[in-house]
Chain A
Amino acid sequence: MDHLLSIVLWLPLAGAIVLAFLPRSAETAIKSGGLILAVVTFIASLMILPQFRVGVAAFQLVEHCQWIPSWGISYFIGVDGISLWLVLLTTLLGPVVLLSSWNSIHKYVKEYVLAMLLLESAMVGSFMAMDLLLFYVFFELMLIPMYLIIGVWGGPNRIYAAIKFFIFTVSGSLLMLLAILYLVYLYYVQTGVLTFTISDLYNVHLAMNVEVWLFFAFALAFAIKVPLFPLHTWLPDAHVEAPTGGSIALAAVMLKVGTYGFLRFVLPLFPHASMHWSWLFAALSLIGIIYGALVAWVQPDMKKLVAYSSVSHLGFCILGIFAMNAAGVQGSLMQMINHGLSTGALFLLVGVIYDRRHTRLLSDFGGLSRSVPIYSTLLVIAVLSSVGLPGLNGFIGEFLVLVGAFRWNPLYGVIAAIGVILAAIYLLWLVQKVIFGPITHEENRTMKDIAWNELLAVIPLIIMMVWIGVRPEPFLQRMEPSVQQLLSTVTDRAGAPPPVSDSRGGVR
């Protein structure tokens, strides 16, 4: 099992290539094949856990080989406490996504399964990559299947949403690519070593103005991905139009790549700029928290509501990261996982009733608690997790982030805490409009309760919600050393004053 990570990484893709040779008419075989692959991948990823040494900050299960040696690019993957759980989250959601769309995808089933598997590989890869360019490759690779998923299997306005999604994300990432190259080039000039390995690049010395430019190039890419206010407008559209599985993958995992990027790249690579501009990101994330919550509140469309809630929740993640203290960063990581679970579940559940009624307008529902009690219970649990009820997962992350932010600047903590109030407002509004109140539409009276595949998809999420809510320590424990190390990297580097001028000072 020396190549466990590679197996987890490539299994979905390899499987997809095999499945591609099945005839298109063999839908069930393809679906089951995809599901089995996803489950096997998940099991494989679980085997990382026993091999993962607790209390070690460094990357583990590392695999390293040259890829493009002349440019210092290598196939360098590993997990540490920061990426471990994100990888597991991704692999967990693989089967969930496929299960959730078992019966809701009617056309081009084969292509759908292939796209999802490709997406899974790309997402896992971006969390495992320890080489900046490898990361970038996976980062971009994600876009293609997601573009297709939104554009082919999406709603009526899917083209607009898909293109918007793609253009937004690509705009950021291309600028980041330039910054990556420049960074590597500067490192090369300084040390004579051409490398894209992240941990090496942590040692680069940058003049302040250069650092700020590069910082913003990176930050822009990730801020779009997260998305951070005011770059969030692609998200509601993408979510509303995407099929359920796409929404889950998008919200639960893909957005995390943005927050992960901030943590893994932006902070340690550009500590001075990060610190210098942290106020900006605090402000944007705070605005996002409040803004997302308020806008979510007045949405008539359930998916949009959940989408805007993502804007709000991910604001917490960014806030925690820029707090640059252990509580904030660990909280942010927890919040990423939690958001993945709870928002994933919410999108899944919204998808369930969408499949039955082909509408997502809040006004078309109401009183579902009577006709679909199991569904309603699950929805309430997912909502409560998202609201941040102590005892469920959402609270842990939110609380840690808030304390972290508060320690950074009390004002930030206080404003962010308002978001907690607002979360209750809009999410309970959702619950009330959907499952409470009188039944206003006759179709809702005879609605079928949640189906086996949907139940099977959502149960793991619920279990994880409770588990993390009750016993988060194993998760935090494994994160802690890595987070501490990352933070000390940041503070050590920021502690040293930036070189006043550099041979290649400004960006021409």
Chain B
Amino acid sequence: MTLTPLLEPNWLQSILPEIILSCAGMLLILLDAFLPGARRAFAPVAIMAILIAGWSESFVVAGMYFGRTYQISPLTVLFDFIFLTATLLAVMYSYEYLQRQNVDGGEFYALILWAAVGMMMMAKGMDLLIVVLGLELLSICIFVLVGFNGRVTISNEASLKYFLMGAFATGFILYGTALFYGASGSTQLEQLGNFFSRAQPSDPTLTIAFVLLIAGFGFKLAVVPFHSWAPDVYQGAPTPVAAWLSVAPKAATLVALIRILNAMLPISTAARWTTIVAVLAVLSMVLGNFVAIAQRDLKRMLAYSGIAHVGYMMIALITLGPDSVAAVAVYAITYVLMNVGAFGVVSLLDKNQNDSQTLDDIAGLGFRRPFHGLALAIFMFSLSGLPPTAGFISKLYIFRVALSSGHTTVAIIAILTSIVSVYYYLRVVYFLYMKDSEDVPVQTIAGPMATGALAISIIGIFAIGIFPTPLFQVALRAANGLIGNH
């Protein structure tokens, strides 16, 4: 017996992004330890690392690695870019935000980079083990990032809530995985797929396992009824972290979920698992949109809106197909741009982290700070799905998928809840432009980094909204690669 690792050719360059990000994280820790004076340079270093990681994506070779447990495919590359974009934007907002809150440090950037590694693992893992490990790496980083501002009570509270819920949910994921393992003898998705193609749909253990698994993933996605942490955590977390948290882990979890659902495709309809997904989608859309109306805190409102948006994405997952995967990918990209942007504008508000950023704070912002106001308005219009923004295109894609796979009822519910959502998104615009600010208006402070991040988001939103074709092609090609495996 030799200790030859199970390594396929090209393995190193294929995990180059992960390696780069991991090493950059370590470098940042070291810098923080030995060169604390160079704090200002941490964020640029992190940005450089992200850019290099993005560039290194051009070297990866599609294929299965590490004993068919790690898949690199156009889809993972696409999602890697989503994670990297989200992380990049979050870092850009954090740079000034952390300085303002006086908590900047190398650990922050290190953790966010490692979290990106975790997400990549979730996206690429073909073994539930890898997925769980990635998820855990991500979670650990999130626990810390959320509570990063140790001074702020609500930051700590958010961290606590996320930690307890996260650990609890992990328990469910693990239990579900264990049950699947027991039934199939493996946690590798390919083998699970083989197993499902001959499994009994009526087997109760399988359904139990599925529910447990979906509960755990649903927690990460913040779908109802596993969503309850989201508003509190977003509110308490440093705003750039909330921005990142509201999109990136969800995207990662979606890929993992897509893979798992893909493996389960042979029996998911017969076992009524599609119905579970549909119910989750509907519940999320309804509750997210309804409760968002009642929110005055911007971050909480965005949290509920995020719950609803995941609901929309879940629609596409009900019946899995190349189009639905592409739809989710497009939606995820769009959602990254607009939601991080929206949180980003909130993060620019000159307030302490433990004070809530309410609608009143942005009253009159549209005329006080035209660019920030306009940016937030554009994000809101995009979130509500109005043309010609990316939000429209991606929602359109979702509806199209829903209709062509015959889920008309769900689509109608989605439309109706969208109408509800328009109300609270519009309310933001109303505060931006139609309400006079209070005596001492809250200002926004933005340096070049944050401004650049806003510009990236806006340009992206309109680019996708007006010329979506290239993205469609990429997404569809990626999706075909994934679904084609079975």
Contacts and interface: CB of A to CB of B under 8 A. Distances in A.
Physical contact A–B (CB less than 8 Å): yes
Contacts of B469: 67-70
A171 B426 CA distance: 13
A148 B408 CA distance: 33
A111 B388 CA distance: 19
Contact of B415 (A71, A159, A175, A185): A175
A447 interface: no
B209 interface: no
Given A68-B469, A167-B422, A141 B403 contact: no
A143 interface: yes
Residue among B392, B426, B472 with most chain A CB within 10 A? B426
A265 interface: no
A159 B400 contact: no
A279 interface: no
Contacts of A136: 387
B426 A166 contact: yes
B433 interface: yes
A504 B409 CA distance: 14
Interface string A169-181: 0110011011001
A502 interface: no
B404 interface: yes
Contacts of A68: 468-469, 472
B124 to A, nearest CB: 27
A280 interface: no
A266 interface: no
A136 B393 CA distance: 12
Given A140-B387, A144-B381, A174 B415 contact: yes
B396 interface: yes
Given A143-B386, A175-B415, A508-B408, A152 B399 contact: no
A416 interface: no
B353 interface: no
Interface in A113-170: 133, 136-137, 140-141, 143-144, 147-148, 151-152, 158-159, 162-163, 166-167, 170
A158 B436 CA distance: 13
B447 interface: no
A171 B419 contact: yes
Contact of A167 (B403, B419, B472, B473): B419
A467 interface: no
B23 to A, nearest CB: 39
B367 interface: yes
A108 interface: yes
A359 to B, nearest CB: 22
B430 A151 contact: yes
B415 A178 contact: yes
Interface in B375-413: 381, 385-388, 392, 396, 399-400, 403-404, 406-409, 411-412
Contacts of A277: none
Contacts of A111: 367
Nearest to B326: A70
Contact of B426 (A67, A69, A70, A147): A147
A162 B387 CA distance: 19
Contacts of A166: 422, 426
Interface string A418-445: 0000000000000000000000000000
Residue among B409, B415, B435, B468 with most chain A CB within 10 A? B415
Interface in B443-486: 468-469, 472-473, 476
Residue among A136, A144, A504 with most chain B CB within 10 A? A144
- Secondary structure class of chain B's binding surface, majority of residues: helix
Interface string B408-441: 1101100100110011001101100111000000
Contacts of A144: 381, 386
Contacts of B387: 136-137, 140-141
B400 A170 contact: no
Contacts of A175: 412, 415
Given A136-B387, A177-B399, A178-B403, A167 B423 contact: yes
A268 to B, nearest CB: 22
Interface residues of B, number: 35
Nearest to B468: A68
A507 interface: yes
A152 B399 CA distance: 33
A151 B419 contact: no
Interface string B294-308: 000000000000000
Contact of A70 (B386, B407, B411, B473): B473
A176 to B, nearest CB: 10
Given A137-B387, A163-B430, A508-B409, A185 B400 contact: yes
A504 B415 CA distance: 21
A174 B417 CA distance: 10
A163 B423 contact: yes
A159 B433 CA distance: 10
A147 B433 CA distance: 11
Contacts of A182: 403, 408
A158 B400 CA distance: 36
A69 B476 CA distance: 13
Contact of A508 (B400, B406, B434): B406
Contacts of A171: 419
A213 to B, nearest CB: 9
Contacts of B407: 508
A174 B409 contact: no
B419 A174 contact: yes
A153 B386 CA distance: 22
Nearest to A183: B403
Residue among B403, B412, B427 with most chain A CB within 10 A? B403
Nearest to A24: B370
B418 A174 contact: yes
Contacts of B408: 182, 507-508
A238 B412 CA distance: 28
Top 10 closest A-B pairs, CB basis? A137-B387, A151-B434, A508-B408, A171-B419, A174-B415, A140-B387, A170-B422, A178-B415, A507-B408, A152-B433
25 contacts: A71-B400, A71-B472, A133-B396, A137-B387, A141-B388, A144-B381, A147-B426, A151-B433, A152-B433, A152-B434, A163-B423, A163-B427, A167-B422, A167-B423, A170-B386, A170-B422, A174-B415, A178-B412, A181-B399, A182-B408, A185-B403, A185-B404, A507-B408, A508-B406, A508-B407
Given A147-B426, A508-B409, 15 more contacts: A69-B469, A137-B392, A141-B387, A148-B433, A162-B430, A162-B434, A163-B426, A166-B426, A167-B422, A171-B419, A174-B415, A178-B403, A178-B411, A182-B403, A182-B408
